[in-house]
Amino acid sequence: MLVEVAVAAAVRGTFTYRVPSRLAGEVSLGSRVAVPFGKSPRATGYVVGLPTVPPKGIELRDVAGVLDEFPPFTQPMLRLIRWAEEYYLAPPGELMRAALPPGLNARGGASGPTRRGVEFAAPASGAAEALVTLDARAHARRAVLEYLLARGRIPVEELRTAFPRGRPALTALVKAGLATLETVSVAAGGGSLLPAAEHPFPLTADQSAALSRITGAAGAFHTFLLHGVTGSGKTEVYLQAIALARAAGKGALVLVPEIALTPQLAGRFRARFGDQVALLHSGLSDRERHAEWLRLRRGEARICVGVRSAVFAPVQDLGIVVVDEEHDPSFKQDDGPGYHARDLAVVRAREEGAVCVLGSATPSLETLENARTGKYELVVLPRRIDDRPLPEVRIVDLSRIRKGAPLPGLLSPALREALVATVRAGRQAILFLNRRGFQTLVLCRDCGREERCGNCSVSLTLHARRGVLLCHYCGHSERMSPRCPACGGERAGVGAGTEQVEAAVREVVPEARVARMDRDALTGAADVAELLARFARREVDVLVGTQMVTKGHDFPGVTLVGVVLADTALALPDFRAAERTFQLLTQVAGRAGRGDEPGQVIVQTFHPHSPAVAFAVGHDYAGFAEVELDRRRSLGYPPFGRMMAVRVEGSEAGARRTAEALGDAARPALSAGVSMLGPAPAAIERIRGKSRWHLLFRATDPAALRRVHRALGPAALRPPGGASVRFDVDPHAML
């Protein structure tokens, strides 16, 4: 017996091995095996084929062992991975390793806890009063109790998503009589709802029409773009479509951008479907992720909710695939095999004959074009639930106001007045600025020296509260001195970050309770959950943050959203800069006016006439898309062309030599349909001490890019400068 094996390493191609007779009954397509590879006597590999004829002129080696009781990969999953291997030009073994949970080990490994229904936690009576008496050092217990008081009775799964290490704190609260736990059994007869669990909400006419079209396509491959404005109820459409798929005996896969930022989503699925739901995300331990993966592979759980890598989850009899916030760039893998989970989700649905639903208030232009050309079917939710109006949006032109005195913390008079009025009326506000720190650049007033990171070619950002200059790429930090180390002159900061905005809010509205939501203020999922709980309980009046505040949060008390500077992403060297700016502005504006009170949004910008800003102000996605698609069409950028980036990293001389050799190798493969930009230093030339060079190829179709890839093969395998080479098909990060 012969097997074709993909080795779990960044090695291109597959290898043929013999199967000893003692293992012949254990090996099949999709098996994980141990094989001798190179000088290693035992490497992990995956069986991707069963050849009948050995390759000529090669002495075959034997498979050393089989690592699992059953194959981790089904045949549809193997087809998906082989498709991804060819399209993304990624080593198959590296893709297959990424598709499996990190806790997987020999003979099946940990089995995880046995599930017997769904646990629900709730705050006990008197818990709110007892909160103030909790020891200040009991941070974990206080955080969990605050979350319960904000959310009420919730599935423990939601609490575990919000606080990955919060179970001991919950147990302590139960023992102290401050929280309660109950277990709800799975409904008799295998029904999809649990007794006393969350039941479906009544649908609006728009939601009913969308659900009817999606479920009408069940039983065959079909892709829908569900374009719903913020607050239109897309999640309820997903839930009810999945319930109908489950009633038909089918499984479901739901991909979300960042589950830690929206733990309520995990709770809603567990409350609706109980033990049928398995979660796959980085907040779980390796053992827990493996246990959830096993439940899916064995058919014990039939619904998977997870982040990007869950596109490979072994859901059985897949009937529906949902990609929520399909426009989000976090679905693109930037390290390792550079796949896009949204696009792989569509391919997986095709391979398994399932319906695929791509949902967003601001669809990516690639997805929109697929809907326009008939590849996907467009379904629209044009109104918010209960016909709540979209918030009124006002523009503040900073180019006019800044001709006078500089603005304190970049808060214009209009934004200051609205902020004061909102807080004094007992309502809440969100201020958005997509830059961390206090000031983004520190200069010497005398000699002009700019403080830059020694490891990365970027400026150091001042974090005033900690008194340090910090690199946001490698983490290097140094103390902030008021004097220039070169000439002794006075140093001054330029630019604004969330820390400066927070300080300005405290100055403008001293009575306001202000919190900051960015990667500096919050170090983990538990901190995020605690802050969101306090905001939900209205213990925070003003939330200042980066794009973390735009991620699907639903707070009825928010009536004001302020965009402190709408232009931060517009000047980036990225053809998607305008699209991402429009998406961020639309998403953050959608946080306002989701309750009974109408919302208002104030957008401060130096470029009020930029299409990304002007169309976001009018909630006009169609207008922006038309203008931006025309621009992309004229330049040959996606969705009207395909791109491949070749990323080179190494020593300064080595990266340059390698990039130039790749450019020389590519030129004979260029034709009228393929163009090359570079080789050139990357926009950020050095990160973590490594020099970075890029080559960018544009073509009219993927086949032309594959020809270029083949031409680059020899130089990429043995780079003359010793640098690393990575191919990135459909690149999203252009820096």
Considering only residues 356 and 548, tell me which one the structure prediction assigns the higher pLDDT.
Answer: 356
CB 278 within 8 A of CB 304: yes
Q: What is the pLDDT of residues 506-524, one digit of tens each?
A: 999 999 999 988 877 776 7
For domain 199-384, give the CATH number.
3.40.50.300
Average of per-residue pLDDT across 230-245? 92
Instruction: Please tell me which residue, 600 or 114, carries the higher pLDDT value.
Output: 600
When pLDDT is averaged across residues 450-473 and rounded to a whole number, the result is: 75
Domain positions in the chain: 2-100, 118-184, 199-384, 388-436+498-631, 439-495, 642-729
pLDDT of residue 189: 32
What local confidence, expressed as pLDDT, does residue 190 receive?
A: 34
Supply the pLDDT for residue 107.
39
Check whether 639 has a pLDDT greater than 90.
yes
Topology of domain 642-729, per CATH? Alpha-Beta Plaits (3.30.70)
With a cut of 70, say whether residue 372 has pLDDT above it: yes
Most confident of the ranges 95-99, 455-459, 479-483: 95-99
Which has more pLDDT, 77 or 462?
Answer: 77
Instruction: Say whether pLDDT at 192 is over 50.
Output: no
pLDDT, position 358: 98
b/e burial code for range 100-137 (CB count within 10 A of at least 16 → b):
bbbbbeeeebbebeebeebbbbbbbeebeebeeebeee
CA-to-CA dists, residue 116 to 72, 268, 276, angstroms = 25, 18, 11
pLDDT of the residue at 191: 37
On the question of a common fold for 199-384 and 388-436+498-631, the answer reads: yes
pLDDT at 187 over 50: no
Cβ neighbours for 467, distance < 8 A, ≥ 6 positions apart: 479, 480
What is the residue type of 342? R
Q: Is 559 left (phi over 0), alpha (psi -120 to 50) or beta?
A: alpha
Tell me the residue ranges of DSSP E strands in 335-432: 355-360, 377-381, 392-397, 428-432
Residue 346: pLDDT band by 50, 70, 90 thresholds? very high
Give the separation between CA 347 and CA 340, rounded to whole angstroms: 11
Q: What is the pLDDT of residues 646-676, one digit of tens each?
A: 999 999 899 999 999 999 999 988 887 888 9
2-100 folds as GIY-YIG endonuclease (3.40.1440)
> Over the stretch 596-615, which tens digit does the pLDDT of each residue have?
788 899 998 888 899 999 99
Give the residue from 612, 594, 588 showing the smallest Cα distance to 558. 594
Strands 118-123 and 179-184: antiparallel
pTM (two decimals):
0.84
What are the CB-based long-range contacts (under 8 Å, 24+) for 574-580?
A: 574/733, 574/734, 574/735, 575/632, 575/635, 575/637, 575/734, 576/732, 576/734, 578/610, 578/611, 578/612, 578/628, 579/364, 579/365, 579/612, 579/628, 580/329
Report residue 94 as tokens: 């590296």
- Helix 234-247 crosses helix 205-216 at what angle (to 10 degrees)? 40
Query: What is the CATH T-level fold of the domain 388-436+498-631, as seen in this structure?
Result: Rossmann fold (3.40.50)
pLDDT(404) > 60? no
Please state which of the ranges 54-58, 68-72, 473-477, 639-643 shows the lowest mean pLDDT: 473-477
- Tell me if 145 sits within 8 A of 123, measured CB to CB: yes
pLDDT value of position 185: 58
Q: Pick the residue with more confidence: 545 or 112?
A: 545
pLDDT at 464: 67
Could you tell me the pLDDT band of residue 260, with boundaries at 50, 70 and 90?
low
Separation in Å, CA 322 to CA 14, 237, 251, 349, 361? 32, 10, 12, 10, 15
Using a 10 angstrom Cβ sphere, with 0-12 exposed, 13-18 middle and 19 or more buried, the burial of residue 11 is middle
pLDDT category of residue 111 using cuts at 50, 70 and 90: very low
